[in-house]
Chains A and B, each alone.
Chain A
């Protein structure tokens, strides 16, 4: 299912000038003001106020409480676990995204459309089910649960399970970003390099990679935001062991359910900041992508 990763960039975000329009296709002033008013009211109620509420609630009891909530040992270990998860999951999906985009964009083969649909599959699965599938495999009653128990290997309710669930939910991000980009760029530059005697890897590093670097970064940023913020799937496989298997979102839930609201919002504000940084970087890369590729064909495949 389409996520932010594949949504086409609006022309105005790409910095194209707005055409002068004749009065015949412009609404009366009161209609324009009314529509802008409705749009802003809707966005304010549903986006801006909730965002502000996170920071307001976090800082309600002052700066000291805020800092104390974040450096508290359990919160700190949640931050470390979240970073560890992202550091493993994002590069894995990055390598996969590049491999998938190379095979799909540079070659013609049968079954390509099926492959594209299968790559998108994790987006259409409920996060809860994304966690459930690993419980069915690694759980005590699961496929290889008994074997794992006999060999004293912990996957479920431990870090490997959290990483796996995160890899699953962030699986399509980089691939979905790179496939249309590489398809629009074609093979000509790579072919020129190969004809001139460059090896395949050399061609990839020196020709392909510089061409796709912004698209790659775009995918990585979205992948990372989801990896650090995933809640449902990770909640199912984590076991909620304080200080051990809690990621930041799970720590937020625990604090909230203990009615420790200011601490919950303090930890949550870290994730809200991450979201804002993600959006800022995303806008910057959209601008760069427009600069480097004059006509980005960012249509969905």
Chain B
């Protein structure tokens, strides 16, 4: 980082007047290192104390693999549900007028603001066999609470705002003139949507999907109450890390954490590329 400090780019001549560069950047890098980078590096350093065989045996054990399948599978399904319904919510909020719209728009962010433990117990209460929703689903043979289906419900809840909030601004910028042009050229409303609107909002939909998916894979609080946490059936990977920690198996917990961190960083990279795509779309349109 020292190189960065000395390499002040004087492209903006005026920047030279601004004070406080060394202080602010110095503090930023110091605090970042202390709170985030050094602690995170502990995860990787800890795994180096394991042999490769021990590491591999831990991260590919039957029970862990079952937890990956559940965590990633349920996250994938939750994110897919959010693309479909979140897309519809974004469309409705941008294009239509109806009473209570502003309130609903503000409440879409509820999953960001509501602590995950509260969401977890509320969803469990709703979907358990005598809950408001569970009592109607159970006679139909649908068990949600304490099954993998409950995991999907919880992960759908926490991922809900991502798709809505990434698609909404892009949809607002869609030029209605293009749609009018398509219509005047004889396209049906559905054709216009599929050929004109959908390609424009596709990068945003994918970004929202990736954000919801990434958030869901690491989620813990809202899932553990509703999942039932049965090994091999409804045990998510983050819970498995906690279980290992409670058994004082720090190395085992860390090995699984490394796998999850690598997955998150891959997702982070994908999301950054997707967001660059969204921005470029926006820029190309304005030129």
Contact = CB atoms under 8 A, between A and B. Distances in A.
Interface string A38-76: 111011011111110110010000000000000000000
Contacts of B242: 128, 235-236
B279 A232 contact: no
A241 interface: no
Given A24-B180, A49-B133, A299-B279, 7 more contacts: A11-B169, A46-B153, A102-B24, A108-B8, A231-B115, A253-B225, A256-B225
Interface in A4-23: 4, 7-13, 18-19, 21-22
A38 to B, nearest CB: 5
A90 interface: no
A253 B126 contact: no
B267 A124 contact: yes
Nearest to B156: A46
Taking residues whose C-beta sits less than 8 angstroms from the other chain, chain A's interface range is: 35 or more
Contacts of B113: 4, 222, 225, 229, 274-276, 278-279, 282
Contact of B245 (A1, A43, A236): A236
A96 B28 contact: yes
Interface stretch (A136-144, A147-155, A212-220): A136-144
A159 B19 CA distance: 37
B132 A49 contact: yes
Interface string B37-52: 1111011001000000
Contact of A119 (B5, B32, B94, B104): B32
Contacts of A200: 19-20
A96, A103, A120 — which one has the most chain B CB atoms within 10 A of its CB? Answer: A103
B250 A135 contact: yes
26 contacts: A4-B112, A8-B169, A11-B172, A13-B105, A18-B97, A36-B92, A36-B96, A43-B89, A47-B111, A103-B28, A115-B28, A128-B257, A129-B257, A132-B253, A133-B42, A136-B250, A190-B18, A191-B18, A200-B20, A232-B238, A256-B121, A265-B125, A271-B115, A274-B115, A275-B115, A279-B109
B287 interface: no
A184 B211 CA distance: 25
Nearest to B4: A111
B200 interface: no
Residue among B40, B101, B253, B275 with the highest chain A CB neighbour number at 10 A? B40
Interface residues of B, number: 116
Contacts of B250: 135-136, 139, 141
B157 to A, nearest CB: 5
Residue of A22, A46, A142, A250 with highest tally of chain B CB at under 10 A: A46
Contacts of A117: 268, 272
A99, A122, A141, A171: which has the most chain B beta carbons within 10 Å?
A99
Given A109-B8, A232-B116, A24 B36 contact: no
Contacts of A1: 211, 214-215, 268, 271
Contacts of A100: 24, 28, 32
Nearest to A230: B115
Nearest to B153: A46
Contacts of A228: 115
Contacts of A167: 35
A19 B118 CA distance: 40
Nearest to A229: B115
Interface string B219-232: 11100010000000
A266 B4 CA distance: 51
Given A124-B267, A133-B42, A25 B110 contact: no
B35 A107 contact: no
B265 A124 contact: yes
A88 interface: no
B194 interface: no
B118 A54 contact: yes
B188 to A, nearest CB: 11
B184 interface: yes
B215 to A, nearest CB: 7
